[in-house]
């Protein structure tokens, strides 16, 4: 039966066209954005995971920046410690030279005093971003990682470096409450009995025996400086390893999120072509269905 009031064929063709247009709009959106899950309505579970992991990745980016800042602080401290080792080695050589008969110890002491002042200058200037790791006391920290636990709790972990101002510690000088260097503590500032410290010793009036004792004290300080430089080298290596790990972890998160929400462009391209063809056929089918009602007119022609 043909009805001019109800065109079932046209209704079916129109419903099919609507479905095709909806799928075509979705596919075009995937192609233009590059995502198959761009909003929560596309896939709530995947969108939630991706959003959380992107947020964590931003935190990891901040950790990477913090590691770079920490590495700069450690490198500055290591450069200062290495320079201090060279200066103390020069002082050691001067003390050895003073043990020779006929040497003017006063002139050698003048040279040592210049080296002692250079040690103070090194300790004062070895600061990066307001932190000095070769002078003072307490604990210095570098942000090393951002952790999300199995229960969803997040935390920031740090790598700590304890400053020790004892004679066998790891700083050149200690620090006073006022913030000024304490030149009576630390590897360079601590006095060894009646012979003074590396910083304030005076060899101009010492006997050969006393010079030998002073030389032993300088050697002890040199050993402590070498140990401190080794500690800084170790923490620098750890920071470099952590920085590499954070970078790799960030890449892995990006890759994992991409697997969840990124569109397969080859698949979307094929789907887009197919849907465009289906759309054209659906339009043609609707046109045919609509024209069937006009054919009724031929029944009333003479």
Give Cα 273 to chain centroid, integer Å: 44
* pTM for the predicted model, two decimal places: 0.78
Calculate the dihedral angle through the C-alpha atoms of 219, 225, 229, 235, rounding to the nearest 10 degrees. 130
More confident residue, 118 or 268: 118
Integer angstrom CA distances of residue 110 from 124, 137, 221:
22, 31, 20
pLDDT of the residue at 167: 92
- What pLDDT band is residue 171 in, cutting at 50, 70 and 90? very high
**136 within 8 A of 161, measured Cβ to Cβ:** no
The burial class, CB within 10 Å (0-12 / 13-18 / 19+), for 300 is exposed
- State mean pLDDT over 153-162: 88
């Amino acid at each position: 039966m043909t009805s001019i009031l109800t065109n079932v064929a046209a209704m079916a063709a129109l419903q099919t066209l609507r479905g095709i247009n909806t799928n075509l709009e979705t596919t075009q959106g995937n192609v233009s954005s590059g995502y198959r899950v761009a909003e929560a309505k596309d896939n709530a579970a995947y969108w939630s995971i991706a959003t959380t992991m992107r947020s964590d990745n931003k935190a990891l980016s901040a950790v990477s920046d913090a590691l770079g800042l920490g590495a700069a602080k450690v490198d500055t401290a290591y450069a200062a410690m290495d320079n201090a080792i060279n200066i103390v080695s020069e002082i050691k050589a001067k003390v050895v030279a003073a043990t020779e008969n006929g040497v003017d110890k006063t002139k050698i002491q003048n040279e040592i005093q210049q080296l002692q002042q250079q040690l103070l200058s090194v300790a004062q200037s070895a600061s990066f971003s307001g932190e000095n790791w070769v002078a003072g006391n307490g604990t210095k920290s570098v942000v090393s990682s951002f952790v999300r636990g199995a229960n969803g709790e997040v935390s920031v972990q740090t790598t700590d470096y304890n400053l020790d101002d004892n004679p066998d510690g790891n700083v050149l000088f200690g620090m006073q409450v006022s913030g000024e260097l304490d030149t009576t503590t630390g590897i360079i500032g601590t006095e060894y009995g009646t012979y003074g410290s590396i910083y304030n010793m005076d060899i101009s009036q010492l006997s050969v025996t006393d010079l030998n004792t002073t030389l032993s004290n300088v050697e002890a300080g040199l050993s402590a400086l070498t140990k401190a430089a080794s500690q800084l080298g170790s923490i620098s290596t750890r920071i470099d390893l952590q920085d590499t790990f954070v970078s790799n972890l960030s890449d892995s998160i990006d890759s994992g999120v991409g697997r969840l929400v990124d569109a397969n462009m080859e698949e979307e391209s094929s789907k887009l072509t197919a849907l465009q063809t289906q759309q054209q056929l659906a339009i043609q089918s609707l046109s045919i269905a609509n024209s069937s009602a006009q054919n009724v007119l031929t029944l009333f022609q003479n």
